[in-house]
Each structure stands twice: as structure tokens, then as C-alpha cells.
């Protein structure tokens, strides 16, 4: 997503502020300006359906980015992602129902819930690794869903909790276009936080832990501290996504947070490409749009009516096939494909980096 070295010649840094600038070259500045231009004009030309799709992509991006931080960078596998989203959504739902809390209260409350859960469920990671850790995070999922279910039935919201659209500074967020921009800003902020975390001390510590814990510890990195930090930051960001999800849908129910959602998030970072923030964004986009694309494809077939009942099954099945294909054929994910294309042009007219072996 970001690189420490500019790709074009002639960019030398004369102080550390320049060295830390996110955009180094003119090409990058132009690229970003173009991207912002597209993102800003999109809602004014898109249909409501496309707008909704874009909002879903932004929501999924926040979740995928935070999972990428935890799994892709710090190397701590988690299957409790849906549980964390549910925790954020239920915190929001409960607070609005019970005390009619406004947006500016529910959002930090959700983040706080995430922090507490991250801290508690990060503890097993100090002792467990790999598959065992994955199973222990699964517990988080079931506990949150159980508690949410209890709340729903005990308070008589067995069909789910309805949440009013929030208002921001006297402006009620009902319009799809307004939501688009709110979610875009949140997703962009998450991305920025992740970039800055990863290129600073904590990010380097996470990567060191991921590569080899013993060596990281020998380097003076506090393993338990940084592992817990990864869980806490990732969980709080995920819960914030849950809060936004609750408001955006206007409705919270435990059915929306099944184990399949966790799998989907893991799929996002695998398909996108482990260890890359761009990969998280690409994966979130791909996994969100994929079912709609399958549906659209099925509709092109003759005798659509007969197939109507099977769309779900086809969706699940093709999702599984795509997952396997990615794991087997392109372990680096979408970002691997993207990098290969990019390198082809960046290295032009060479195939490999020239002067790589040059010694004085």
C-alpha cells in the first residue's frame, strides 16, 4: 500500500518530514487526486443500488482492514470477527433502545466494547498459536451471539432491534448519498490509521512478531504487550464498523452475524492478499460484490425462474470454489496479480530490476 522508496528517480529527502510524507512523487499525487475525483463524483451518477453496494464495500473495508492488521501483519489468526461486529452493533442497538443515546455516544461506546473484548480475547494469544488460537477466538463469537440473543428475547425484540437513523449536527442521515460520504470518510480514516500504525514502531513490532517471536523478543519487543495491542486496536475498529453497520441498516439482529460472516472476512484478506492493506481493500470489494455478480450472471441464463431457489446454493458453492482457486493458484491474492501487472510496467523495458547486483 505504501512504500518507503519512491519509484522514480530524483526524489531525495532533505528532512524527516519529507521522508514521512505519504505521497512522495508527482505521479502519486496525481493518482490520488484522480481517485478522490472519481470517489466524489460517483454518488452523483450512480443508481441507488450501486450506492448501496459502495456503502457495503466501505463497511466491509473497515472490517477487512482491521482483520488484516491482526492476521495479515501481527500474524494472530481470528475467527471471532463477526462476533466483534455484532458486539459493536448490539452496543449501539442497546444504547439507543435503552437510553436513547445519540450517535456521538454510541460510537465511542462501541469502540470501548471492542477494546474490552479485544483485551479479554487477546489473552489466549499469549499462550496459543495457530489453530488453537483460532478456536479460542471462535468462543468470542458464540458468547457475543448468545448474549445478544438473550437480550433480544428477554426484552422482547425477538425479531431484532430497530435503530433510528442518526443525526450529525442537526442533519439526519437518511439519504444514501450522505451515508456514502460518511462511510467513505470512516473507511479512509481507518486506512490512514492502519498506514500510520504499520509504518511506525507498533507496526514494525507486529511484523517482527509475525516473522519470528523469539527473535522479536530478543530485539526487545514486548511480545505480550504488542499482541494485546494488535487485538485491542483491531477489535475496536471492528466494533466501530459494527456500530456504523447498525445505523446504516437501521436494524440489528443476531441472524446477521453468523459464522459465515467471519469466514467472509477471512476470505477477504486471503483473496485480497495477506500482508497488504491494498489487499484488504481489494478483498473487501471482491467478496462484497461477488454474490451480486453471481446473481447477475445466473439471470443471464435461460429459464431463470426455475433457478430462483438455487441462487443461494450456487452463491455459496462458487464462493467456496473461488476461495480454493485463490489458495491454490494465487496465494498472494488479488494484490499479487496487481503487483505483477504493475511491475511489468514499472520495470519497463527490463524484466528484473537492473543494477540489483551492481557492486562498486
Partner 1 sequence: MTASATVYRERLRRTTAPHLLCERARVTPDSVAFRSKHFGIYRERRWRDYAALVAHAARAMQSLGIGRGERVAIMGDVCEEWMICDLAAQSLGAIVYGIYPTASAAEVEYQMRDGGACVFIAEDQEYVDRLLPIAERLPDLRTILVLDDSAMFGYEHPKLKRFGELLGATETPDLGWLEAQAALVTADDPAFIVYTSGTTGHPKGALVSHGKHLAATDTVVSHYPTLRDKPHRTVVFLPMCHVLGRDVAITLPLISQLVPHFGEDPEDFAVTLFEVAPTVLFMVPRYLQKFASHVLVGILNSSRIKRAAHDFAMRFARPYANRRWNGGSNIVQNTIYRLVQAGVFKPILNKLGFDRLELVVSGGASLPAETMALWHVYGVNVVEMYGQTEEAGGIIAGQRGPFPRPGNVGTAVDGIDVRLAEDGEVLVRSPDLFDGYWRNEEATREIKSADGWLRTGDVGEWRDGALRLIDRARDFMVTAGGKTISPSFIENALRASPYVAEAVVFGHGRKYLTAIIEIDFDTVADWARANDVAYTGFTSLTAHPRISQLIEIEIDKANASLARVEQIKSFRILPKALDPEEEGEPVTPTRKVKRKLMYERFKVLVDGMYDDREERLIAAGAGGVLAQ
350 lies in the binding site for partner 1 (CB under 8 A):
yes
The answer to whether 21 contacts partner 1 (rule: CB under 8 A) is no
Residue 44 engages partner 1 in binding (rule: CB under 8 A): no
359 binds partner 1 (CB under 8 A): yes
Q: Restricting to residues 62-121, name those near partner 1 by CB under 8 A.
A: none
Nearer Cβ to partner 1 (154/359): 359
CB nearer to partner 1: pick between 31 and 354: 354
Residue with Cβ nearer partner 1 (250 or 354): 354
Share in percent of the chain as helix, strand, coil (round to 5): 75, 0, 25
Give me the least distance between CB of 45 and partner 1, in Å please: 34
How many residues sit in the footprint of partner 1 (CB under 8 A)? 22
Q: Which one of residues 127, 172, 340, 353 is an interface residue with partner 1 (CB under 8 A)?
A: 353
Given the complex with partner 1, which of 165 and 339 has the nearer CB atom? 339
Q: Tell me whether residue 8 or residue 36 sits nearer to partner 1 (CB atom).
A: 8
Considering the complex, state which of residue 15 and residue 131 has its C-beta at the smaller distance from partner 1: 15
Return the number of the residue (23 or 42) whose C-beta is nearest partner 1: 23
For residues 49 and 350, which CB has a smaller minimum distance to partner 1 in the complex?
350
> Quick check: 312 binds partner 1 (CB under 8 A)?
no
Q: C-alpha grid cell for residue 6?
A: 519512491
Stretch that binds partner 1, among 15-23, 74-82, 141-149, 204-212 (CB under 8 A): 15-23
Residue of 38, 131, 300, 358 that binds partner 1 (CB under 8 A): 358
Which is nearest to 27 in space by CA: 1, 6, 3? 6
Least distance to partner 1, CB of residue 60, Å = 36
Residue 42 and residue 54 in contact, taking contact as beta carbons nearer than 8 Å: yes
DSSP, collapsed to helix, strand or coil, labels residue 91 as helix
Nearest to 62 by CA among 197, 239, 231: 239
- CA 257 – CA 91 distance, rounded (Å): 14
Verify binding: residue 354, partner 1, rule CB under 8 A.
Answer: yes
- Does 19 help bind partner 1 (rule: CB under 8 A)? yes
Which three cell numbers, joined as nine digits, stand for 155? 426484552
Binds partner 1 by CB under 8 A, chosen from 3, 9, 48, 214 = 9
Which helix or strand (DSSP H or E) is residue 329 part of?
helix 311-329
Report cis status (omega within 30 of 0) of the bond before 349.
yes
Does residue 131 touch partner 1 according to CB under 8 A? no
Would you tell me how many other CB atoms lie within 10 Å of the CB of residue 332?
17
Q: Residue from 3, 14, 154, 169 that binds partner 1 (CB under 8 A)?
A: 14
Gap between the Cα atoms of 334 and 277, Å rounded: 11
What residues contact 95, with CB distance under 8 A and at least 6 apart?
A: 101, 105, 106, 109
The answer to the question of residue 3 lying near partner 1 (CB under 8 A) is no
Give the gyration radius of the chain's Cα atoms: 22
Whats the size of the chain, residue-wise? 360
Gap between the Cα atoms of 280 and 293, Å rounded: 19
Minimum Å distance from CB 203 to partner 1? 17
Q: Shortest gap between Cβ of 337 and partner 1 (angstroms)?
A: 17
- First-to-last CA distance in the chain? 32
Residue 282 burial (CB < 10 Å; 0-12/13-18/19+)? buried
Residue 11 touches partner 1, criterion: CB under 8 A: yes
CB of 34 to partner 1, least distance (A): 21
Spatial separation of the C-alpha atoms in residues 100 and 166, rounded to whole Å = 11
Complex with partner 1: residue 25 or 318, whichever CB lies closer? 25
Q: How far apart are CA 280 and CA 269, in angstroms?
A: 5
Give me the residues that bind partner 1 (CB under 8 A), please.
8-16, 19, 348-355, 357-360
Amino acid at each position: 500500500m505504501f512504500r518507503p522508496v519512491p519509484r522514480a528517480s530524483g526524489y531525495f529527502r532533505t528532512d524527516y518530514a519529507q521522508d514521512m510524507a505519504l505521497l512522495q512523487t508527482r505521479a502519486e499525487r496525481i493518482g490520488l487526486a484522480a481517485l478522490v475525483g472519481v470517489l466524489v463524483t460517483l454518488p452523483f451518477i450512480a443508481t441507488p443500488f450501486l450506492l448501496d453496494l459502495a456503502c457495503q464495500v466501505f463497511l466491509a473495508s473497515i472490517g477487512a482492514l482491521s482483520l488484516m492488521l491482526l492476521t495479515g501483519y501481527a500474524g494472530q489468526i481470528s475467527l471471532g470477527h463477526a462476533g466483534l461486529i455484532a458486539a459493536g452493533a448490539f452496543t449501539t442497538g442497546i444504547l439507543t433502545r435503552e437510553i436513547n443515546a445519540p450517535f456521538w455516544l454510541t460510537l465511542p461506546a462501541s469502540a470501548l466494547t471492542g477494546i474490552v473484548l479485544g483485551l479479554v480475547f487477546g489473552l489466549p494469544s499469549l499462550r496459543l498459536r495457530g489453530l488453537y488460537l483460532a478456536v479460542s477466538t471462535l468462543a468470542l463469537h458464540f458468547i457475543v451471539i448468545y448474549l445478544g440473543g438473550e437480550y433480544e428475547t428477554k426484552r422482547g425484540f425477538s425479531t431484532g432491534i430497530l435503530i433510528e437513523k442518526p443525526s450529525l449536527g442537526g442533519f439526519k442521515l437518511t439519504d444514501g448519498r450522505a451515508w456514502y460520504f460518511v462511510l467513505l470518510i470512516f473507511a479512509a480514516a481507518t486506512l490512514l490509521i492502519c498506514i500510520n500504525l504499520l509504518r511506525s514502531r507498533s507496526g514494525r513490532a507486529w511484523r517482527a512478531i509475525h516473522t519470528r517471536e523469539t527473535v522479536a523478543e530478543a530485539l526487545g519487543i514486548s511480545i505480550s504487550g504488542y499482541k494485546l495491542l494488535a487485538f485491542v486496536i483491531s477489535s475496536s475498529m471492528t466494533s466501530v464498523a459494527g456500530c456504523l453497520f447498525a445505523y446504516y441498516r437501521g436494524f440489528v439482529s443476531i441472524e446477521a452475524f453468523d459464522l459465515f460472516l467471519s469466514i467472509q472476512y477471512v476470505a477477504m484478506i486471503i483473496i485480497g492478499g495477506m500482508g497488504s492493506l491494498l489487499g484488504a481493500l481489494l478483498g473487501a470489494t471482491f467478496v462484497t460484490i461477488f454474490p451480486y455478480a453471481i446473481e447477475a450472471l445466473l439471470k443471464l441464463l435461460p429459464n431463470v425462474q426455475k433457478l430462483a431457489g438455487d441462487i443461494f446454493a450456487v452463491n455459496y458453492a462458487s464462493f467456496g470454489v473461488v476461495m480454493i482457486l485463490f489458495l491454490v493458484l494465487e496465494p498472494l491474492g488479488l494484490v499479487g496479480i496487481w503487483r505483477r501487472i504493475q511491475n511489468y510496467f514499472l520495470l519497463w523495458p527490463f524484466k528484473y530490476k537492473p543494477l540489483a547486483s551492481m557492486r562498486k
